[in-house]
Amino acid sequence: MPTELPAEKLPEEHREAQLRAAAAAASVPAAFGHRLLGLPGTHLAQVNLPNRSTVPWHYWWQAHYLDCLLDAAERADITHHDDGAAHRTRARRLLRTIRLRNGGRWRNSYYDDMAWLALAALRSADIAGTRPLPTLTAALISAHTSDLGGGLFWNTSRDFKNTPATAPAALYFARIGRKDESAQLVDWLFARLLDPATGLLFDGIRMPGERLVTDLYTYNQGPALGALLALGDQRSLDRASGLITAIATHLVQPDGALRTHGGGDGGLFTGILARYLALAAVSPHLPEATRTIARTLITTTARALWEGRTEREAGGRRRRTVLVFSAAPGASAGKGPMELSTQLQAWMIFEAAWQVTGRTGRAGG
């Protein structure tokens, strides 16, 4: 386990990053966390506040909430704070409750959703003492077919292969030791979906007709970067360096902060990218210049999001003041409705900033 210097001896940037991450880790569960149907021992996050009874079920948002709780538990252990146990307890309850809310099943209709939960559950097994989910492993393997030359289907309709499903599955396969399959998926991404003009990955290919979807999103680059780092061979590391350069060139605002994609599902996108940029920023296998680019992207974005924070009183039986963060760096969070996705995005970015500013910390995710 990495160790942390006493708070008074930490560099100012790292001390500030620690405070920001801790504030997000306290605010998001306080504002959004609740019991499912009031059942003891359950934990889930509301999707919107004020809560609307007709909101859809966002399985993959909860997977990223789980990852954030695990980030916070690791940080608490390293900094010797006593709230690590609380984060782990929430993580265990959340994982159980996701299955309960999903009709007693781990699977759903979207392979990208399942890849995200498989990744988070794998970390949870290590950090919170839960179990990996072999059911999801089998589902992801089944979606990797020879149609279109490889890649993963997006959902059970099997008419779209895309980066959102292929990249996190490639990362997951690399982490469970299926590196040949991971490398096949990564090679397919770079052969079929690399934009030669920007060096970024396009969104996907629709069937029939092989219609290329050329949207460029921050989050598609993130898990692809993670998979390249997990593979770790020289070709993958060279690709990772090129991808980071492309991100810094084409996916930033004029102030140097990472571009975001509004609310809804898009509210998670740049937080996901920051999670994997953090892995790059602390990787000893990448050139120092590349690590510096990754680190600067994260810290610049975190600073801009923090400056736009507002305070709000959270509801529930124990009313308390929480922080609310904007969907876009440099903007004010305002006083309107809140979405879980944008708050998780900010939390991910603050945890990433803490990881990359520390002397002995390690990047999770």
Instruction: For residue 104, give every residue at least 6 positions away whose Cβ sits within 8 Å of its Cβ, in sequence order, or none.
Output: none
d(CA 282, CA 293) in angstroms, rounded, equals 11
pLDDT grade for 42, boundaries at 50, 70 and 90 = very high
Q: How far apart are CA 174 and CA 88, in angstroms?
A: 25
Q: pLDDT band at residue 82, thresholds of 50, 70 and 90?
A: confident
**Dihedral of the CA atoms 36, 38, 40, 44 (nearest 10)?**
30
Long-range Cβ pairs for the range 127-134 (8 Å, 24+): 127/70, 127/73, 127/74, 127/88, 127/91, 128/70, 128/73, 128/88, 128/91, 128/92, 128/95, 129/88, 129/92, 130/91, 130/92, 130/95, 132/176, 133/106
- Kindly indicate the confidence band of residue 316, based on its pLDDT and cuts at 50, 70 and 90: low
Judged against a pLDDT cut of 50, whether residue 361 lies above it is answered with no
Q: How many CB atoms lie within 10 A of CB 97?
A: 22
How confident is the model over 300-319, as a mean pLDDT? Answer: 86
Lowest mean pLDDT, pick from 12-16, 171-175, 262-266, 350-354: 12-16
pTM score, two decimals?
0.95
Go through 185-218 and write b for each residue having 16 or more CB atoms within 10 A of its CB, e for each that does not.
bbbbbbebbbeeeebbbbbbbbeeeeeeeeebbb
- Would you state the pLDDT for residue 362? 52
Radius of gyration over alpha carbons of the chain, in Å? 19
- pLDDT tens digits, residue range 181-222? 999 999 999 999 999 999 999 999 999 999 999 999 999 999
**DSSP secondary structure string, 219-273?**
HHHHHHHHHHHHH-SHHHHHHHHHHHHHHHHHSB-TTSPBP---SGGGGGHHHHH
Average predicted confidence (pLDDT) for the chain: 94
What mean pLDDT do residues 28-34 have?
Answer: 95
Q: Which domains does the chain have, with CATH numbers?
A: 7-357 (1.50.10.20)
| Res 278 pLDDT > 90 | yes
Q: What is the pLDDT of residues 133-189, one digit of tens each?
A: 999 999 999 999 999 999 999 999 999 999 999 999 999 999 999 999 999 999 999
Predicted confidence at residue 360, as pLDDT, reads 42
pLDDT in tens, 221-268: 999 999 999 999 999 999 999 999 999 999 999 999 999 999 999 999
Q: Are 97 and 45 in contact (CB under 8 A)?
A: no
